């Protein structure tokens, strides 16, 4: 029940942030704060023991995107950084494949645009929130399994 509630809540946050990011090129704090509060309202009573690990993964996911935001000031925005942190709260370790999927999908689209448009493509801004949402949705379905597969295949 708790996992299903978390999935519905995260999917809702991802859909709203995607629509908003595509429309306005911004991910509002009020959506992210409401999403984080909803996640905590589900996690604390149903699985409080997972909270430290989820908090760690929220910090890791947000921190990784923060590095990108600092390195490329005109690239990843702070809304993307905060969305990654909220995804880490919901997904825990499964946020790792979510970020890999998001970065890969964004990179493929960016490369395709650069091939098509040449140097002019560098001036185009592409919202990253929808790519994070794609990774988050895939991670809801198969994130834990892909982390287990990776650990079993490469780290044991």
Instruction: Parse the chain into domains and list their residue ranges.
Output: 2-155
Asked if the model's pLDDT at residue 1 lies above 70, the reply is no
Q: 107-146, pLDDT tens digit by residue?
A: 999 899 989 988 777 778 889 999 999 999 999 988 778 8
Q: Are 58 and 8 in contact (CB under 8 A)?
A: no
Where b means 16+ CB within 10 Å and e means fewer, 39-49 reads: beebbeeeeee
Q: What is d(CA 105, CA 13) in angstroms, rounded to the nearest whole number?
A: 20
Instruction: Give the pLDDT score at 123.
Output: 76
Tokens representing 139?
A: 């991670």
Q: What angle do CA 58, 2, 141 make, to 5 degrees?
A: 65
Q: 34-68, pLDDT tens digit by residue?
A: 999 999 999 999 999 999 999 999 999 999 999 99
The count of residues in the chain is 156
Asked if the model's pLDDT at residue 74 lies above 90, the reply is no
Instruction: Give the pLDDT score at 75.
Output: 79
Where helices occur in 47-94 by DSSP H, the ranges are 51-71, 78-91
Phi, psi of 127 (to 5 degrees): -65, 135
Q: 15-35, pLDDT tens digit by residue?
A: 999 999 999 999 999 999 999
Q: Are 91 and 10 in contact (CB under 8 A)?
A: yes
Instruction: Give the pLDDT score at 88.
Output: 98
Q: What is d(CA 152, CA 104) in angstroms, rounded to the nearest whole number?
A: 23
Q: How much is the pTM?
A: 0.91
Neighbours of 4 (CB within 10 A): 9
pLDDT over 90 percentage in the chain: 72
Average pLDDT across the chain, whole number:
92
Instruction: Give the pLDDT score at 117.
Output: 87
User: Can you tell me the mean pLDDT for 69-86?
Assistant: 92
């Amino acid at each position: 029940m708790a996992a299903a509630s978390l999935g519905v809540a995260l999917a809702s946050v991802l859909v709203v942030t995607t629509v908003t990011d595509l429309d306005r090129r911004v991910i509002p704090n009020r959506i992210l704060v409401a999403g984080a509060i909803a996640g905590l309202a589900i996690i604390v009573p149903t699985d409080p023991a997972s909270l430290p690990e989820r908090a760690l993964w929220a910090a890791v996911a947000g921190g990784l995107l923060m590095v990108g935001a600092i390195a490329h000031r005109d690239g990843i925005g702070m809304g993307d950084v905060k969305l990654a942190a909220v995804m880490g709260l919901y997904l825990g370790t499964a946020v790792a494949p979510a970020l890999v999927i998001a970065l890969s999908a964004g990179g493929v689209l960016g490369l395709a645009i650069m091939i098509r448009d040449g140097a002019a493509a560098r001036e185009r801004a592409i919202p990253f929130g929808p790519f994070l949402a794609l990774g988050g949705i895939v991670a809801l379905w198969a994130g834990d399994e892909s982390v287990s597969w990776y650990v079993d295949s490469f780290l044991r």
